[in-house]
Structures are given as structure tokens and as C-alpha cells.
Amino acid sequence: MADSYDPPLSGTRILDLTSGPMTAVGRLFADLGAHVTALHVPGITADDDVVGPHVDEVPIQTAINRHGMPVVDVEGPAEFEGLLAGADILIENTRPGSAAETALSVRRLRERYPALVILSISDFGRDNDYRGWQGTTPVFHALSSELSRSGIPGREPLIPPAELPYHVAAAQAAVMTAAVYLDRLRTGEGDLIDFSVLDGAMQTLDPPFGSAGSASAGVAVSAQQRDFNAEQQRYPIIACKDGHVRMCVLAKRQWHGMFKWMGSPEEFADPSYDKLGKRFRSPELLATIERFCADKTRAELEAQGQAHGVPTAAVLTLSEALNAEHFTARGFFRDVGLAAGVVAPVPVGVTEIDGHRASALNAPNPAQADRPTEAPLLKTRDRRGEGLPLEGIRVLDLGVIVVGADTGRLFGDLGADVVKIEHSAHPDGLRIGKPTSMTQPFAAGHRNKRSIGIDMRTAEGREYAHRLVKISDVVLTNYKPGVAEALGMDYATLKEINPGIVVVDSSAYGPNGPWAKRLGYGPLVRAAVGFTNLWTYPDDPDTFCDTVTVYPDHVAARIGALSAIALLLRRERTGAGGSASISQAEVMLSHLAADIAADALQRGGRAGADAPADDAIWGLFPAAGEDNWIAITARDEADREALCTVVGAADLEAVRAWTAQRSKTEAMEILQNAGVPAGAVMHANELPGWRYYEQRRAFREELHPHGDVPFMMENVQIHCDHVADPPLGQAPLLGEQTAEIAAELLGLDAAEIEELHERGVLETPPVS
């Protein structure tokens, strides 16, 4: 069966000049079948910027990211030019203002090789006043606003585990690069992408103005502060006989299941407890649930909770998660030689393509594949001339909540015609309130889409959906495994209708394995894979602080979008579509890959980097004012000397005294201008007014006709010469374009559309 696997990016030639954590971009492309060559170019590439933890002098994260890639030491300009002439994509991350940036001169390369797609990565982008600033994991967490929501009030904000800003930014960078490359095959014209790691981290980890889960909907952005008690109410973590479990009791049906599970206690029988607010305001209820769980094991609570429709997951350690039967059954890890004598388990790709793990470990030799030169199918598509790379592509969006919203929205922002299929009998969880109202999370996650109301429970409704499939390119779903099959929207069914269709499904734990049909929400998945257990203060292991963060939903959406675009690229070679499946649990575990490998090698270590010394200037420091903080990260002796020049001494007490006398932004600017990576811990409502984000056109305000107040939302997703800012299409009400789509795409006349509405096959809820 492995012999029949055709990697979607087979034939694509990529030259990778990067070093450090953003080598993760090349890894994503290599696992999808691209031929990625790591280049060492004198005067341009950095040989010492590697990422640990170090085991036997091997930098584990760098070794994982580079595993299996050919490495070429370029001897001179002629050899470099020859390699460029045969490449499709160039990835580089020279530091702005450096001699390496000048020597590489990507603008010159852009002129000399106009068909080349260049991904130019830097910490803060190259087109603004902050181009010389430097970032690190804590700095990116601080300046994306994520850190302001992590931790317990009264303590310093809590830096999450792993090097998440880089991992999620890499996924965003890969999506944008693949989209531009697909368009290049159609037009013959490449582009230069100015990618900022900070932008990618802000948009893809826990975006404050993106789509959000139902638990935080309705909370004003100015109120999105650290509120440990409220977080514990949303997805409570309950102590039990042998550890902890996390539960989800948000929906009415979940509460009814919990109520019955506890034996229908009379004190909570009043119908008012059906309302989420009533339950949140009842300390007695949480205390009762805690007593109910105290004498039961994690396994018992998991099984009983799932049986009662109450999503429940054990809070596992990373080691417990890795030894769980589910991940063994799915074959997610494989022992790999990272260096001589250094063998460790590493993830076998984060996407399944046509039922195969998309990994360089499973692919034929990418160097032998023919290089694609054009996109014959896409060349037949009309373009609207809006300067968007995915114009002419039609996407059917059956996705729900955050992953569903973001995957389709990425396509819409890049020019695709995205049609959301939905129905009021099973509304998207992001649609909160009346069907004629609009919330910020839905407006942010479903902009640039149209909505058609179809009752997919009926055979006739499914037939109309299948007619849309015939004239579409991509179908997106993120149902629990088995639901798409029941609706006739699985790949096996749809490829018979349209052999060129690309189907992407995302689920909590993947399409198969012992946990496949578990009820999964992001916080529960984090608990089950060991992430929650790592997201604690070192001196208090029971302070689980990951509840409010919407992770990995946004990055899983990017992996889904990347997989879909890769399959569209393969379709240009073969004419056939394909399927992709993404497990959100495995996306998270891939971000812990370095930690997992180091642990297996019995050395331990901090994921993605070597642990700083006890006296290192690395972490959060108090700034003037109440609960104001700044992240400062002195990476090496040069940083310490720069810090000493500013502060007068480079010890912890001196730095704390210095920051406490200054505002967080003043301290940040002074330190960054001196060359020390530093970032003010910003709250969500501070981001749109910060000059950096203004210069990057990162946000825009929208007055939606069905919203009560103006909505702030993300704006530019990609900075490059030939790609316009996202369109201004506003998120639709449920079924708002039903008649329009039925006439335009299904060819129905007004009388047929009216009759189908009367019978409930089509739906357009009235606007009051």
C-alpha cells in the first residue's frame, strides 16, 4: 500500500537557507513530499543558530527539522545561482540590517528569478520601523497578547511549554507560501513574502481578534484578562482518586448528562441551571461535582463521562500520553537516527494523505520526481483580477467551531469562493444567540464566505450538496469520525461524484484508533496529550493554566489548509483529488517533539531549547503599575553586555529594580534599541493601537449590519508584492445567500427555490 502513495508536493524544489526554530517550515514541506535542500552559504547562513535541547552535543530540534534533508555546502556564487535556477521556492531568515541580508539581497534575487517564490522570514518583518527588533519565545508570547491570559493573577504570567510561537508561525508561513506557489504555476510569476514570526504567532496561536470558542464568546476584549476562577469554570479540572480529569459542561445537553450522571440531585433540578451563567455563578455546583469525582479514578470518570455525553479527559503526564494505546495504534512515532548513536522517537508527519502518513520517512526519493511547471486545471479558471492567489477555487465549508471557521476563512481571505453549508437544526457552535444576530468570533472566523442553508438530514438535501461537490475543488469538515460518512460527505463517497475533489477532515484524535470517537474539545485534548500537565508553575504542579487559550485549533486549521493546497498542487500533476486527515492531538505532540526525543534519550530538557541557568536573565519582570510585566531574554554574552550597559548590572535584582521604575513599553523600547530581546506583556485591546501592528496593517474594524457594536478583527495575512489585502466580505447570517447560491450554482429557478424552502430542504431564516 505504501508503494501507491503519491506525496502531494512531489517534484517541488525548495532551497532552505534558514537556521534556528523556523527550520520547522522546511520540515512541513519535506513531509508533504517536497525536495528540500538545506544550503550552507558562506556569509549568508548561520551555522551556530541551532535549537536544542542538546543530547550528546546534538541539537535535537534542529536534528528533527533537518532529518533526511540533503545538505549542500555552496562553494561560490556560480553554484548558488545554478541551484536557484532549478528551484521553485527559496526560504531564508537572514537578520534585518545584517551583512548576511545585504549579501543575499532577496530583492535582487526577485528580479533575477521572477518565477521564484521567496519566503523571507524575520522576527518583526522587513517593511517597518521594528525590523531590527529581536524576538524569542517569551517575547512573542508577550507581544501577541497570549501571555496576558496565561497564569494566576498576583503571580507573573506563565510562559506556556514548548516553543509554540515558532511552531505555529511555521504553519502560517507554509500555508501562505504554498498558496503563492500554486498561483505561480498558473501565472508564471513568483513573489517575495515578507513574513514576520510575531505576526504568525499572533494570528495562529491564540489570536485575540480571531474566531474563538463558545466559552469565551461574549467576553469583551478589554475584559480578557487573567481570571483563574472563570477559567476553571469553563473547563474545570477536578481532582479524583488517582489524579485529575478535565470536563466540559458548557452546552445544555452536557449539563443534562452531568445532572443525570450525578443521580439528579434535587438542589440543581431547577430549569434555571440549564443556563450557563447560572451554573457559573454557583460555587455549590462545582463543589458538588468535585465531591462526586473524588472517589473515582481517571479511567472510570472518562468512561462514565463519555457514556453520559459529558466530554471528560484524564489529565495525563506527557509520558502517560505517549504510552497510551491510541498513539501506539496510530503509529504516530517512529525511532529515527538523528545522529550517529542518537536514536529517538519522532513524529511521522502531522497529516495523513489518502490514508498514509505524510512524512519524508514514508515517501519515495523526492529528488527523482519531475518538477511541475504549470497548473493546467487552474489556468481554465476565471480570475477576478483582485490580486489573490486562490481566485477561481471553490471551497465547500462544512466546518464548525474554531478549526472549521479558520480553515475556510484562510481560503476566503486568499480569494477562494467559500460556500458554508449549514442548517439551524445543527447550528455552528460559534453562532451564539438569535440566528439573525452576529458575534465577533463568528464575524472574524467566517468573513469572506457565503452561506447556504441545506437540511443534510434528508436524502434530497444531500443530493443538492452533492451537486455542489461536482462543481467544487475542496470540501472541509471537522466532524467527529463517522458523521461525514453518515451525511454522505466523506471522501470515499465524494470522489465518486467528483474525482478531482480534495477533502480535508480534522478531528480531536484522528479518524481511527481507540480514541477516535471520543468527544473532543481543545482543552480536553490538551489534557489527554500531556500539555495541560506541562502548563503549570514549576513550584505548584496543580496550577493548570491552559484553560483560556484556544490552542491547537488555529494551528490545526493551518495544517488542514496547507494539506488542501498541497493536494490541489498534486491535482495539477495527476488530475485526481485526494484526502487529508488532521489529528489535533498529534499537531500538539509534534510541537513537543524535541521534549519527547530528549526524554526518550534519558536526558530530559526543555522543549525546543536548552534550559536557562538559574541566574539567567530570562523570563518575566515587573514593570511600573499594577500587574504590568515585561519579558526579557538575554540569550548570550552579547545580550548580557547590552543589558548591563542599559541597566548598569546584569543580575536579576538589578534588572527587576530597573523595570519596576518604568512602564512596560518604555522598558521594552529601551532594551530592544540596545539589542536585547524584550516584549511588553500586552493585553488584547492594546494590540491594534501599537505602532508595529499599525504599520503591518494587522487589524481592521468592521461595522457588521447584524452586530451590536463594531468588531475588531485581523486584517492582512500575507505581505508580498502581488497579493492584495483580504477582501471585505462580511460573515453571513445562517443561509443568507441560500437563494443566490441555489440559482447561481445549482441552476434552480425562483419557483423551485421557493418550493424547496417550503418543504424545508433549503433554509433562509427570516431577518427580523
pLDDT tens, 573-609?
999 999 999 999 999 999 999 999 998 987 544 444 5
CA dist 7 and 362 (Å) reads 9
pLDDT tens, 76-106?
999 999 999 999 999 999 999 999 999 999 9
Q: What is the pLDDT of residue 446?
A: 97
Question: Across the chain, what does the average pLDDT equal?
Answer: 93
- Measured CA distances, 563 to 338, 483, 579 (Å): 26, 21, 9
Q: What is the pLDDT of residue 258?
A: 97
Cis peptide before 53 (omega within 30 of 0): yes
Q: What is the mean pLDDT of residues 538-559?
A: 90
CB-based contacts of 92, cutoff 8 Å, min separation 6:
17, 18, 44, 104, 106, 118, 119, 120, 121
pLDDT tens, 631-674?
999 999 999 999 999 999 989 999 999 999 999 999 999 999 99
CB-based contacts of 448, cutoff 8 Å, min separation 6:
409, 412, 413, 418, 726, 727, 729
Give the cell for residue 739.
437563494
CA dist 234 and 246 (Å) reads 10
User: Are β-strands 678-680 and 89-92 bridged in parallel, bridged antiparallel, or unpaired?
Assistant: unpaired
Ranking 218-222, 235-239, 707-711, 721-725 by mean pLDDT, the lowest is 218-222
> Would you place residue 767 in the very low, low, confident or very high pLDDT band (cuts 50, 70, 90)?
confident
CA dist 393 and 403 (Å) reads 20
pLDDT tens, 296-317?
999 999 999 989 999 999 999 9
Torsion-angle region of 424 (φ positive above 0: left; ψ -120 to 50: alpha; else: beta): alpha
Q: What is the pLDDT of residue 365?
A: 81
Q: What is the mean pLDDT of residues 195-208?
A: 96
pTM, to two decimals: 0.96
pLDDT tens, 383-411?
788 899 999 999 999 999 999 999 999 99
Q: What is the pLDDT of residue 316?
A: 96
Q: What is the pLDDT of residue 2?
A: 41
- Catalytic positions, written as ranges: 553
Burial of residue 320 (number of CB atoms within 10 Å: 0-12, 13-18, 19+):
middle
pLDDT tens, 38-47?
999 999 999 8
Q: What is the pLDDT of residue 366?
A: 81
Q: What is the pLDDT of residue 153?
A: 83
Q: What is the pLDDT of residue 177?
A: 98
pLDDT at 66 over 60: yes
CA dist 548 and 534 (Å) reads 15
CA dist 208 and 673 (Å) reads 27
Helix-strand-coil split of the chain, %, nearest 5 = 40, 15, 45
pLDDT tens, 324-369?
999 999 999 999 999 999 999 999 999 999 999 999 988 778 878 8
DSSP 540: B
Q: What is the pLDDT of residue 196?
A: 98
Contact present, 585 and 525 (Cβ < 8 Å):
yes
Q: What is the mean pLDDT of residues 444-471?
A: 97
CB-based contacts of 411, cutoff 8 Å, min separation 6:
390, 393, 395, 418, 474, 561, 564
Q: What is the pLDDT of residue 212?
A: 76
- Give the percent of the chain with pLDDT over 90: 82
Q: Which residues pair with 620 in a beta bridge?
A: 631
Q: What is the pLDDT of residue 227?
A: 59
CA dist 579 and 352 (Å) reads 8
Q: What is the mean pLDDT of residues 165-171?
A: 98
The better pLDDT of the pair 94, 217 is held by 94
Q: What is the pLDDT of residue 216?
A: 52
> Would you place residue 766 in the very low, low, confident or very high pLDDT band (cuts 50, 70, 90)?
confident
- Within 92-155, residue ranges assigned H as helices are 99-104, 106-112, 137-143
- Give the percent of the chain with pLDDT over 70: 95
Q: What is the pLDDT of residue 607?
A: 41
